[in-house]
Structure 1
Amino acid sequence: MNLLASLSIASGSLNVIEAQYAVTANNVANASTAGYVKETVATLSSVAGGYGAGVRLGSTQLSINQALQSSLYRQNASASSYTTMNNSLASLSAVQGSTSADSGSTSSLTDQLGNLQSALISLTSTPSQSASQSAVVSKATALTDTIHTLASTYATQRQGAADSVVSSVASVNSDLTQIGALSKQIMKFKGLGQDTADLENQRLGIMSDLSSNLNVSFSSSSNGDMVVRTANGTQLPTRPDQMGLDDSTQQLPSSTWPLTTSSATLSASSYYSPQDSTSSIPGITLAGQDVTSSLTGGSLGANIALRDTVYPQMQAQLDSVSYTIMNRFSSAGLSLFSTGAGGASSIQSSDLTKPTPEGIVGLSSSLAVSARYATTPSLLTTTTNSDGTTNSGDTSVISNVLSVGFGSDASDVSGSLAAPTNGLGPNGSISTGYNGGQGLIALSTALTSNQGATIAAASSGVTSSSAVLTLLQTKVADVSGVNVNDEMAKTVALQNAYTANAKIISTVQTMFNALLNAV
């Protein structure tokens, strides 16, 4: 091999080593960057005239297993969904109390009904004592306060979920269109034969962020483009041309395209239904088509579920119990509970889909102790004779409430006295999920237990999904992550190679100088 060939090979090797140095340094710098995939530089052997001519640079590659990466995105969406659910429901858990006997709870719905029952029992023993009479009113007020607190918590958390849906849609749009803008650059550079690894790495980082908002998958084409789809296969365009439109119709990135929705102030009678034109909650549309049902998983999917399913069912359960308390007390002869300003209105219609006072939707927010008894507690044990005279200290009505109103016999909990369990909510699509033919105490326990199970499922889901996510992150890191120790060891090897090639160049230069001096 002549000196010029040796010099060329060594010089070319130095260029390759410098490129490898740059990639290694980039890997180390991004070792803690979320979603970053380790880059490697391909080196190819050069051959000229059948003889080795050193090495040359190939394209920079990403160390990625697409199937494993897709599994990570799906699990990221699952963990994010459970976390969003759990964070929202934690506020309810704090005010709901527990039905467990050893929980120490004294303010659950069941506790408050039990306290009212105890106050009524005490009143039968001392019907003429004002303290006993006032105690009943006080316990009844505490019960309605607990119901109001629960209803307020549902409403607050549901509104928070609705607001988060709007902000999450904007975040999803931003991620999608950033992917689209990067894909456009990647396709351009691939067409020119230029390296695109850094751009592809940026795109994967955005996919990681997108997967925390929504359950999505991706596929890459040979020209460098990326197609993003939801869990049910609905394609989410990242650029207008993926929808058959001119790219000039949108400036990318954008927080308002391709998905569209709007904010709304919710009430107990608000609901979402893609088939109902009177639905008061706007859906999420793509090119004019409602795709809300396709957007599952992640924080967006969780907030949609909280807004449209979880809290509406809880509200319907509480409205049903509130109506049943009013109805059974009234049927037993004591209209202790009512609705309206100051609790002055009589029991309203039992229509399950209309807002109060025309129906029971939202009743739990306005349930109150009747102003008649709140103002004059002695009326609890006062009855009126047919001739207009009154009897003070009469416990007959109170006894009837205790035996019938709080009763659990079939005649006390069936027919018109059964708690509504189906056809609830403003569009009649909600069921309570438990039997309505129970006594008041058992009914309140069923409500608390049902909602407690929802809270527990979210909490356990966080634990299990996070454990699986950690396992997948470890597996992905083994394949795609940056091991700083390995990268530093690679640096030492590159340094040795650089020194060796530099030595060859130095030696060749010395030999050239010797030849020139000899001439």
Structure 2
Amino acid sequence: MSITGAMNAAISGMRAAARGSEIVSNNISNALTPSYGKRGLELSALSYGATGGVRIDGITRHMNEGVAADRRLADAAQQNTQAAVSFFRQLEDIAGLAGDSSGLGGRLAAFEESLITAASRPDAVERLGNTVTNAQWLVDGIGNAARDIQEMRTRADTEIAQDVQTLNTALQQVEQLNAQINTTRSRNGDSPALLDQRQAVLDTIGAIVPINVVPRDNGTVAIYSEGGAVLLDITAAEIGFEQQNIVTEFQTVDAGTLSGLTLNGQDVRTSALGGGRLGGNFAVRDTYSVQAQAQLDALARDLVERFADPAVDPTRGAGDPGLFTDAGAAFDPLNEVGLSTRLSLNAAVDPEVGGEVTRLRDGLGAVVAGPAGDATLLNSLRTALDTARAPASGGFGTGARSAADLFSSFSSALATTRSNAEQDLSFSSARLTELTGLQMSEGVDTDQELQNLLLIERAYAANARVIQAADAMLETLTRL
């Protein structure tokens, strides 16, 4: 090899060492960067005749796609269960835990206790007034819980709209990145930064919808949902959704009053895009909230029908509402949906609308005041609460229950459902943490990178020494 060839070979070695040090520094600085794939320098021997050296073939991005795919699915599952847990926790805060004095069960117990107190002194108007106050407090608790459920449905609808917008934007970004990666690869270029960027966008999509990413030519990918929907194959799909400003208890997807999803203008099953945060919000809006609302309506119906029995208060006329009413009127079993928000106290006993608290003692339909010491009607009202009767709706089963037992069943079922959802969340969170740690462990190893840096430093110094020696030889020749 000539002196010039030796110098060229050494220069190529220094160039490779410099590029290697750049890659090592990038790897170390991005060791904790999500979606970053470790870089590696690809080298090969360069030989043309008597001239040698090293050639930089490119930069390779190292990423375990199998682990990345599993982590995305775990993230989707965690997001899905988190939506359920958040809903049930909020609902439990609204309805109150068992034994919570301000919860629905506690309000019913306060109303029953005030009836007992009033029956012991039916002539004490202040005790009758306290009973009316507690009855109104119970009505307010049920109504507020129902309205809060509809607010959670509205919030879920809003979050669905936001997720759909994010999903459409992310799919378009992947389409554009695919095109850029394809162009770069066609020109024999490297695209690790583009791959990192696409990985981050895929992670965003994977949190909303569980996806399968399928490799295509020249580094491009296609995206399919776990439910079988084609989200991207050359071109990005367009997901459609119509947001509602307010969601009421009467609105459902089946009735056509709430929006489902469309894929490129065609209706698509929600389950086709379920399993992630999007599916979790749909479950909150269309399943969990609807079931909770139905159970609250069943509790309200049970209260209304208990006190609408003619045997409880014989002073009422036929068809007149009892102590609890449907917006002031008698309850129609065919109009149960939304009863919990319409539940109201009979105006005859409500002083705020001109009623008399003494009608609790004398009867809702009494035209004259009865004996002040007669507790017959008050005892009948209490008996109505304690009477075991089978709930007509709400999915509570066919067993006969008192009002307190029915309210307790609602709270217990809610606590059990919330506990089960938290167990699912604990499992999915642990799985996500484990897979995230596994992905990080297969990423940048800073110890290994520092060792590589020492090797690069030695190689650089050795190549520099070759150049120094060649320079000394040339200087000797020039002195001849």
Q: Tell whether the structures are fold-level matches, with TM greater than 0.5.
A: yes
Q: Percent identity?
A: 23
* Map of 1:471 onto structure 2: 434
User: 1:309-331, CA deviations, whole angstroms, 9 ceiling, x for partnerless residues?
Assistant: 11111111101110111011111
Given candidates 441, 449, 455, the residue that maps to 2:418 is 455
* Map of 2:2 onto structure 1: 2
Change (3 A) 1:460 1:305: same
CA distance, structure 2, for counterparts of residue 437 and residue 517 of structure 1: 115
Change (3 A) 1:35 1:437: farther
User: 1:426-457, CA deviations, whole angstroms, 9 ceiling, x for partnerless residues?
Assistant: xxxxxx36556422111111111222233333
CA distance, structure 2, for counterparts of residue 89 and residue 517 of structure 1: 90
* Map of 1:254 onto structure 2: none
SS of 1:325's partner is helix
Given candidates 391, 414, 420, the residue that maps to 2:393 is 420
Given candidates 91, 99, 103, the residue that maps to 1:108 is 103
Q: Contact 2:312 / 2:384 at 8 angstroms: preserved in 1?
A: no
CA distance, structure 2, for counterparts of residue 445 and residue 114 of structure 1: 11
Change (3 A) 1:212 1:294: same
Change (3 A) 1:28 1:385: closer
* Map of 1:150 onto structure 2: 145
CA distance, structure 2, for counterparts of residue 484 and residue 434 of structure 1: 61
Q: Contact 1:7 / 1:508 at 8 angstroms: preserved in 2?
A: yes
* 2:96 counterpart of 1:97: yes
SS of 1:6's partner is helix
* 2:478 counterpart of 1:502: no
Give, in angstroms, the shift of residue 158 of structure 1. Answer: 1.3
* Map of 1:280 onto structure 2: 257
* 2:357 counterpart of 1:391: no
Equivalent residues in 2 for 1:241-280 (5 A)?
A: 258-264=238-244, 265-273=246-254, 278-280=255-257
* Map of 1:247 onto structure 2: none
CA distance, structure 2, for counterparts of residue 360 and residue 8 of structure 1: 89
How many residues are paired up? 464
CA distance, structure 2, for counterparts of residue 297 and residue 433 of structure 1: 28
SS of 2:218's partner is coil
Change (3 A) 1:119 1:191: same
Q: Contact 2:223 / 2:233 at 8 angstroms: preserved in 1?
A: yes
Q: Which amino acid aligns with 2:358?
A: S
SS of 1:272's partner is coil
Q: Contact 2:297 / 2:339 at 8 angstroms: preserved in 1?
A: yes
Q: Which amino acid aligns with 1:325?
A: L
CA distance, structure 2, for counterparts of residue 447 and residue 195 of structure 1: 61
CA distance, structure 1, for counterparts of residue 83 and residue 456 of structure 2: 46
* Map of 1:347 onto structure 2: 330
CA distance, structure 2, for counterparts of residue 329 and residue 401 of structure 1: 7
Aligned structure 1 segments of 4 or more residues deviating by more than 6 angstroms: none
Q: Runs of 5+ in structure 2 lacking a partner? A: 314-321
CA distance, structure 2, for counterparts of residue 491 and residue 162 of structure 1: 53
Q: Contact 1:141 / 1:369 at 8 angstroms: preserved in 2?
A: yes
Q: Which amino acid aligns with 1:160?
A: R
Q: Which amino acid aligns with 2:344?
A: A
Q: Which amino acid aligns with 1:119?
A: S
* 2:327 counterpart of 1:369: no
User: 1:225-274, CA deviations, whole angstroms, 9 ceiling, x for partnerless residues?
Assistant: 1111111221102653x6xxxxxxxxxxxxxx61111211211101113x
Q: Contact 1:323 / 1:360 at 8 angstroms: preserved in 2?
A: yes
User: 1:292-338, CA deviations, whole angstroms, 9 ceiling, x for partnerless residues?
Assistant: 22122332221111111111111111011101110111115351111
User: 1:104-156, CA deviations, whole angstroms, 9 ceiling, x for partnerless residues?
Assistant: x2122112112212222222221222122112111111111211221122111
Give, in angstroms, the shift of residue 89 of structure 1. Answer: 3.9
Q: Contact 1:13 / 1:501 at 8 angstroms: preserved in 2?
A: yes
* Map of 1:33 onto structure 2: 33
SS of 2:358's partner is helix
Q: Runs of 5+ in structure 1 lacking a partner? A: 243-256, 352-358, 422-431
CA distance, structure 1, for counterparts of residue 283 and residue 365 of structure 2: 55
* Map of 1:75 onto structure 2: 74
* 2:473 counterpart of 1:511: yes
Equivalent residues in 2 for 1:48-447 (5 A)?
A: 48=48, 53-99=52-98, 101=99, 105-237=100-232, 240=235, 258-264=238-244, 265-273=246-254, 278-291=255-268, 292-331=270-309, 332-334=311-313, 335-340=322-327, 345-351=328-334, 359-374=335-350, 375-383=355-363, 391-392=370-371, 393-408=373-388, 413-414=389-390, 418-421=391-394, 432=395, 434-435=397-398, 437-447=400-410
Q: Contact 2:5 / 2:51 at 8 angstroms: preserved in 1?
A: no
Change (3 A) 1:258 1:119: same
Give, in angstroms, the shift of residue 178 of structure 1. Answer: 0.9
CA distance, structure 2, for counterparts of residue 434 and residue 15 of structure 1: 78
